[in-house]
Amino acid sequence: MFNKITVAALATTLTLSTSISYAGPKAEVLHWWTSGGEAKSVAVLQKEFSENGGSWTDMPVAGGGGDAAMTALRARVLSGNAPAAVQLKGPSIQEWYEEGALADISDVAKKNNWSSVLPASIAGHMKCEGKWCAAPVNVHRIDWIWANASVLKSNGFGMPKTWDEFNATAKALQAKGIIPLAHGGQAWQDATVFEAVALGIGGANFFHDAFVKLDKKALQSDTMVKVFDQMRTMRGFVDKNFSGRDWNLATAMVMNGEAAFQIMGDWAKGEFLAAGKVPGKDFLCASTPGEGFLYNVDSFAMFKVKGSDRQDGQKLLAKLIVGKNFQKVFNLNKGSIPARTDVALNEFDQCAHVSAADMNASSVGGTLLPSYAHGMALRGAQAGAITDTVTAHFNSDMSSKDAVAMLVKAIDNSK
Amino acid sequence: MINNINNTNYTNLLLRFLLYFILIVFVLYYLLPLFVMITTSLKSLEEIRTGSLVSLPRNITFEAWGTAWSSACTGIQCEGLRPFFWNSIFIAIPAVFISTLIGALNGYVVAQWRFRGANIIFALMLFGCFIPFQVILLPMARILGLMDLAGSITGLIFVHVIYGIGFTTLFFRNYYVNIPNELVKAAKIDGATFLRIFWSIFLPLSLPIIVVTVIWQFTQIWNDFLFGVSFSQAGTQPITVALNNIVNSTTGVKEYNVDMAAAIIAAMPTLIVYVFAGKYFIRGLTAGSVKG
Amino acid sequence: MSNWLEKHLPKIVLGPSFLVIILFVYGFIAWTAWISFTRSRLMPKYDIDGFIQYQRLFDSPRWEVAIDNLFIFGFLFILISMLLGLVIAIFLDQKIRIEGALRTIYLYPMALSLIVTGTAWKWILNPGLGLESVIKGWGFKDFTFDWVINPDFAIYTVVIAGVWQASGFVMALFLAGLRSVDQEIIKAAQVDGVPTLRIYTAIIIPSMAPIFLSAFIVLAHLAIKSFDLVIALTGGGPGYATDLPATYMYTMAFSRGDIGQAASSAIIMMLVVFAVVVPYLYSELRNKNDQ
């Protein structure tokens, strides 16, 4: 006959042993999507994760495009307590892999056919020495130019197709007292404009040679001098209070008609939409003059963690990230387009359609290029060296030739 | 304090007026940012977009404050600053207490129990006040990991105590140095021990400097961001990390009124400490803590 | 046994703190120095590679700007905070009726972290949004105050915000010091007919020399730590015109994955601090020994 205590003890042991043996997939996720709209987008992933039995621990750290998050990440890795998934992009993924910190999720990729649903260049960023180590979330396009529709219409201008056309339009608008280019004078914004100009003036091959291969001939070429010349011209088109201005305040200038254009990535669309503006009616979107597509792919890199619950959590997370539903919903909220090519785009707006079509076309044509300004093309030290030069040139009256010399020297110094 | 002898003199009246005037001008300098922050937090986003910086709010709304406290997004969690408030309290209070106690004992030793090398040890400890925190982030992360304290509140308390010792020792030592050594000698003759002398003689005299030290330490620890972001994890993040997440989101839509309200809420405890303890602060410093 | 314990208790009490400082301050400085001789990028590596990081550092135009700024900012910040603190303390010492309220107003900025106040100052200093546009709006059309967007002048705006934050604390230090000067000497001087100004310059201010020292230590500490201030106010801009060694170090370490470079900049910064602070510490502690 069973003693009550024995029964209780048995029952407890049974429950304990089953719960210790497996607690369900877990994932601690480090990211910097902390504003209202961004957070809503990530919450979609969390919901799907928990619907599939997973428990998500959120570790958000905002600021500086990820600087503070990188600080926290380094401290966590050094203390042996890395989070399971981290918002990382570009060469940093491969750099972390070289430090031995990343996990291998090739089995998830194979099971879910990632190679066939992701464009080749994007898939390349997610692989570390041939093994899949990260999952792409979206594709942001960098080389967009936004405009106030009524300002352009009432002055009889369309979206510029060449940089000369841009300059002419800008000069005419400036004469009428409209600020041609709304710009925020922070280093990364200067870099954004710079690379759009470089792509437009030099073309895709030039961009690839200069900013991906860091080929000295391209960096020292006359084309590069011309790029800096155009930057000098652009400098004349911004208002005098541009320094230090946040990017969204520049977008506001376009919205209220104070300025005509802004060159900014597609997250600017979020500002317009949040203020109730309609694409095509209130604001116009187009690619900056030139052939090509500069992309910024946000992704989650999977770090080596201990425990089967954490590892399962990573695998589940990776699968869901590249899943059709998350790709659709996240990008609807964020202003970017899905990394996955087979997602139906009927709910996306006009600008997203243009972006997706361009992405496919440039992928086929070989002009789909990683953004240097947003950390996709180069490692931090080299990208930083280029940005230092660009921003120094933009904020002074340095000559283009001097800028090119400084550029080459800075890149040499950063290797 | 210098007393003016002839108060009814016109020149004196004029000087007095000038004095007040200059002080008020400085008041504007000091209050301006707070004014901007408060008025912005009471405006609606539309009004911020269209109005001027120093204009008073047309329609006062406290919505931003509510959002900042309980529904602003700091990540997926959209619960405002509230959940993080307690983390900061659990970190700050023990850390302030422990570092103050250690500083008091250290200051007592260095000031009253001079042994060979005490001053050099003190100087070496003082230099620790100048180390920039970015330098110690990575090695400290490694050590916290080895001690299995990574990501915990205890770990953060540990770090704050270590880097507070330099200052707390400085404050107490400067204070105790002005207490005549004869007290200790007399007590020793009476048979009192090291700890007893501290407990019954020095500690009771120390209230002013304890206030100074507590205020300084509390401010530094409560407002720290770097240690907080590097050595915490989900669930142990202090309020400064949450504030940073609200204010510094990179590519999201910025709600300046919520940002300002959140900033003021995060600063409340330190502001309250300063407003109420301010006069003890001066008293504490006056009582010989600072002079030689 | 207990006699031995009693005799050595002071050292035993001080011991742990001292050991902790040796490890966590000097040990870490040594670690940083080691790293500064390696080619560490994303994470620390320990293979020594000579002076390459220092070479790169001195070749970097941005570092040059950062070091220059440290001297400009440090000097102005410490000097102006001290002067302002002293002047306000002297004024407050004149039996002002609203002293309590004024004192709180001058002191409160120290309570706010700069993540908080940085945005407010950024707006106030911005020509289009802040002070310049407000004063222009009042009718002074020619007023300009655009330092913050001017690479040559931006560092001075950092001084303005920094002084705002720290001078109240310095003022408190000086006020306390003023009030603890021996009243007998002052009364005697007044009886002798010495003018007020001279009483200040010849008696009071010299006797506050030790307070200047404490104020200096606090201000120097803040100047070196000035990282949040720059990031919040100018982000290091325009361009990198307001970069300081602390922000340079942080950028190299955490956004550029260049820890070796960050370490070398940290060591140079520590050497500069050492060169300035140690003489003061030496003179201060020497005076103490003479007592």
Q: Note whether A394 contacts C239, CB cutoff 8 Å.
A: yes
End-to-end CA distance of chain C: 34
pLDDT at residue B46 above 70? yes
A340 Cβ contact list (under 8 Å, min separation 6): A117, A118, A322, A324, A327
Residue of B178, B180, B196 lying closest to B188 (CA atoms): B196
Residue of B26, B221, B52, B268 lying closest to C116 (CA atoms): B268
Chains touching C (at least 3 CB pairs under 8 A) are A, B
DSSP A310-323: HHHHHHHHHHHHTS
Q: Note whether A78 contacts B75, CB cutoff 8 Å.
A: no
pLDDT value at position A86?
93
DSSP A36-47: HHHHHHHHHHHH
Judged by average pLDDT, the poorest of A120-124, A213-217, A223-227, B75-79 is B75-79
Judged by average pLDDT, the poorest of A264-273, C48-57, C272-281 is C272-281
Task: Give per-residue pLDDT as tens, B92-115.
Answer: 999 999 999 999 999 898 888 877
Between C247 and A13, residue with greater pLDDT: C247
- Tokens 């940005």 locate to A387
Distance CA A328, CA A335 (A): 11
Distance CA C190, CA B45 (A): 60
A379 touches C: beta carbon within 8 Å: yes
Number of domains in chain C: 1
Tokens linked to C209 = 């020399």
Number of domains in chain A: 2
Domain hosting A341: range is 24-140+297-354
Residue C42 included in any domain: no
Task: Give per-residue pLDDT as tens, C72-120.
Answer: 999 999 999 999 998 888 888 887 778 878 888 888 888 887 776 777 8
Task: Give per-residue pLDDT as tens, C201-216.
Answer: 887 777 777 677 778 8
For residue A95, the domain's CATH number is 3.40.190.10
Long-range (24+ apart) CB contacts under 8 A made by B147-155 are B150/A76, B150/A79, B150/A80, B150/A81, B150/B231, B150/B233, B151/A76, B151/A79, B151/A81, B151/B231, B151/B232, B151/B233, B151/B236, B152/B236, B153/B87, B153/B90, B153/B91, B153/B236, B155/B231
* Burial (Cβ within 10 Å: 0-12, 13-18, ≥19) of residue C96: middle
User: Which residues of C lie inside 8 Å of A (Cβ-Cβ)?
Assistant: 41-44, 56, 59-62, 122, 126-129, 146, 148-151, 154, 231, 234-241, 250-258, 261
CATH topology of domain B82-289: MetI-like fold (1.10.3720)
Contacts of B130 in chain C (CB under 8 A): 220-221, 224, 270, 273, 277
Between C199 and A230, residue with greater pLDDT: A230
Residue C10 included in any domain: no
Question: What is the least distance, in Å, from the CA of A300 to any CA of chain C?
Answer: 17
Domain hosting C83: range is 61-290
Distance CA A400, CA A359 (A): 32
* Contact assessment for residue B68 and residue B58, using Cβ atoms and an 8 Å cutoff: no
* Burial (Cβ within 10 Å: 0-12, 13-18, ≥19) of residue A177: exposed
Between C156 and B248, residue with greater pLDDT: C156
pLDDT at residue A319 above 80? yes
* Burial (Cβ within 10 Å: 0-12, 13-18, ≥19) of residue A342: exposed
Contacts of A54 in chain B (CB under 8 A): none
C 20-49 residues inside an 8 A Cβ radius of B = 20-22, 24-29, 31-32, 44
Q: What type of residue is A296?
A: N
A388 touches C: beta carbon within 8 Å: yes
For residue C118, the domain's CATH number is 1.10.3720.10
pLDDT at residue B288 above 50? no
E strand or H helix at B262, and its extent? helix B256-284
Q: Note whether C17 contacts B169, CB cutoff 8 Å.
A: yes
Q: Note whether A380 contacts C60, CB cutoff 8 Å.
A: no
On whether both A132 and A266 belong to a single domain, the answer is no
Widest pairwise Cα distance in chain B: 76
Q: Note whether B119 contacts C13, CB cutoff 8 Å.
A: no
- The conformational region for residue C183 under phi > 0 = left, psi -120 to 50 = alpha, else beta, is alpha
Residue C140 included in any domain: yes
On whether both A227 and A278 belong to a single domain, the answer is yes
> Alpha-carbon torsion A10, A14, A20, A21, what sign?
positive
C-alpha radius of gyration, chain B, whole number: 24
Average pLDDT of span A66-70: 83
pLDDT value at position B249?
67
Q: How far is CA C220 from the centre of its chain?
A: 4
CA-nearest residue to A274 within chain B is B253
pLDDT at residue C281 above 80? no
* Contact assessment for residue A146 and residue A261, using Cβ atoms and an 8 Å cutoff: yes
On whether both A123 and A167 belong to a single domain, the answer is no
Task: Give per-residue pLDDT as tens, A75-128.
Answer: 888 888 889 999 998 898 998 998 889 999 999 999 999 999 888 888 889 999
Confidence of residue C290 (pLDDT cuts 50, 70, 90): very low
On whether both A245 and A317 belong to a single domain, the answer is no
Residue A359 included in any domain: no
Contacts of B249 in chain A (CB under 8 A): 32-35, 38, 62
The residue extents of the domains of chain B are 10-61, 82-289
Chains touching B (at least 3 CB pairs under 8 A) are A, C
User: Which of A244, A381, A409 lies at the smallest CB-CB distance from C122?
Assistant: A244
Residue A17 included in any domain: no
Confidence of residue A150 (pLDDT cuts 50, 70, 90): very high
Judged by average pLDDT, the poorest of C16-25, C34-43, C271-280 is C271-280
A248 Cβ contact list (under 8 Å, min separation 6): A268, A271, B253, B254
Residue A7 included in any domain: no
pLDDT value at position A233?
94
Residue of A271, A186, A297 lying closest to B49 (CA atoms): A271
A384 touches C: beta carbon within 8 Å: yes
* Mean pLDDT score across all residues of chain A: 87
Q: Note whether C133 contacts B289, CB cutoff 8 Å.
A: no
Confidence of residue A142 (pLDDT cuts 50, 70, 90): very high
Residue A129 included in any domain: yes
pLDDT value at position A207?
94
Respond yes or no on whether the N-terminal peptide bond of residue C238 is cis (omega within 30° of 0). Answer: yes
Judged by average pLDDT, the poorest of A144-148, B133-137, C233-237 is C233-237
Q: What is the ipTM of this complex?
A: 0.80
* Burial (Cβ within 10 Å: 0-12, 13-18, ≥19) of residue B41: buried
Between A5 and B18, residue with greater pLDDT: B18
Phi and psi of B285, rounded to 5°?
-75, -30
pLDDT over 70 percentage in chain A: 93
Strand order in the sheet with A293-296: A337-338, A138-141, A293-296, A368-370
Confidence of residue B289 (pLDDT cuts 50, 70, 90): very low
Provide the whole-model pTM: 0.82
Judged by average pLDDT, the poorest of A247-261, B29-43, B229-243, C182-196 is C182-196
Distance CA A286, CA A274 (A): 19
Question: What is the least distance, in Å, from the CA of C260 to any CA of chain A?
Answer: 11
Q: Note whether B234 contacts A59, CB cutoff 8 Å.
A: yes
Distance CA B166, CA C24 (A): 12
pLDDT over 90 percentage in chain A: 47
DSSP letter for B88, please.
H
B152 touches A: beta carbon within 8 Å: no
Residue C16 included in any domain: no
User: Which residues of A lie inside 8 Å of B (Cβ-Cβ)?
Assistant: 28, 31-39, 42-43, 46, 56-66, 68, 71-72, 74-76, 78-81, 83, 246, 248, 252, 256, 265, 267, 270-271, 274
Between A132 and B4, residue with greater pLDDT: A132
pLDDT value at position A204?
92
Residue C176 included in any domain: yes
C78 touches B: beta carbon within 8 Å: no
Phi and psi of B21, rounded to 5°?
-60, -45
pLDDT value at position A294?
93
Phi and psi of B93, rounded to 5°?
-65, -50
Contacts of C149 in chain A (CB under 8 A): 185, 240-244
pLDDT at residue C44 above 90? no
Distance CA B175, CA B279 (A): 18
β-bridge mates for residue A261, sequence order: A147, A181
pLDDT value at position A2?
46
Distance CA C233, CA C117 (A): 9
On whether both A66 and A79 belong to a single domain, the answer is yes
* Contact assessment for residue A34 and residue B252, using Cβ atoms and an 8 Å cutoff: yes
pLDDT value at position A16?
46
Task: Give per-residue pLDDT as tens, A341-395.
Answer: 888 888 888 889 999 899 888 888 889 999 999 989 998 889 989 999 999 999 8
C-alpha radius of gyration, chain A, whole number: 24
Q: B173 vs A26, B104, B170, C236, C277, CA distance in Å?
A: 50, 8, 5, 38, 19
User: Which of C110, C250, C278 lies at the smallest CB-CB distance from B134?
Assistant: C250
Residue of B179, B177, B204, B210 lying closest to B285 (CA atoms): B210
Residue C25 included in any domain: no
On whether both A118 and A49 belong to a single domain, the answer is yes
β-bridge mates for residue B151, sequence order: B232
* Mean pLDDT score across all residues of chain C: 82
Distance CA A321, CA A299 (A): 9
Q: B23 vs A61, C91, C99, CA distance in Å?
A: 41, 8, 10
pLDDT at residue A298 above 80? yes
A162 Cβ contact list (under 8 Å, min separation 6): A200, A289
Q: Note whether C42 contacts A92, CB cutoff 8 Å.
A: yes
Q: What type of residue is B281?
A: F
pLDDT over 70 percentage in chain B: 91
Residue C81 included in any domain: yes
* Contact assessment for residue B167 and residue B103, using Cβ atoms and an 8 Å cutoff: yes
Q: B95 vs A31, B103, B194, C28, C100, CA distance in Å?
A: 29, 12, 25, 21, 29
Residue C40 included in any domain: no
Q: How far is CA C123 from the centre of its chain?
A: 23
DSSP C88-145: HHHHHTTT-TTHHHHHHHHHGGGGS-HHHHHHHHHHHH-TTTSHHHHHHHTT-TT---
DSSP letter for A303, please.
B
Secondary structure in 3-state letters for A87-112 = EECCHHHHHHHHCCCECCCHHHHHHC
* Mean pLDDT score across all residues of chain B: 83
Residue A8 included in any domain: no
Residue A10 included in any domain: no
Between C239 and A170, residue with greater pLDDT: A170
Number of residue pairs across A and B with CB atoms under 8 Å? 130
Average pLDDT of span C128-143: 76
